[in-house]
Amino acid sequence: MKLFSYSSCSTCRRAIKWLENNDIPFELIDILGIPPTKAMLVSASEVYGGRKYLLNTSGLIYRTIGSEVVKKMSDKEFFEKLFIEPRLIKRPFLYKSNKCLLVGFKEEKWAEKLL
Task: Give the CATH number for residue 56.
Answer: 3.40.30.10
**Which candidate, 76, 92, 80, places its Cα nearest to that of 30?**
92
pLDDT in tens, 32-89: 999 999 999 999 999 999 999 999 998 888 999 998 999 999 999 999 999 999 999 9
How many domains, in total, are found in the chain? 1
Which long-range contacts does 19-25 make (Cβ < 8 Å, 24+ apart)? 19/114, 22/111, 22/114, 22/115, 24/114, 25/1
pLDDT in tens, 77-103: 999 999 999 999 999 999 998 888 999
Which residues constitute the domain of residue 93?
Answer: 2-114
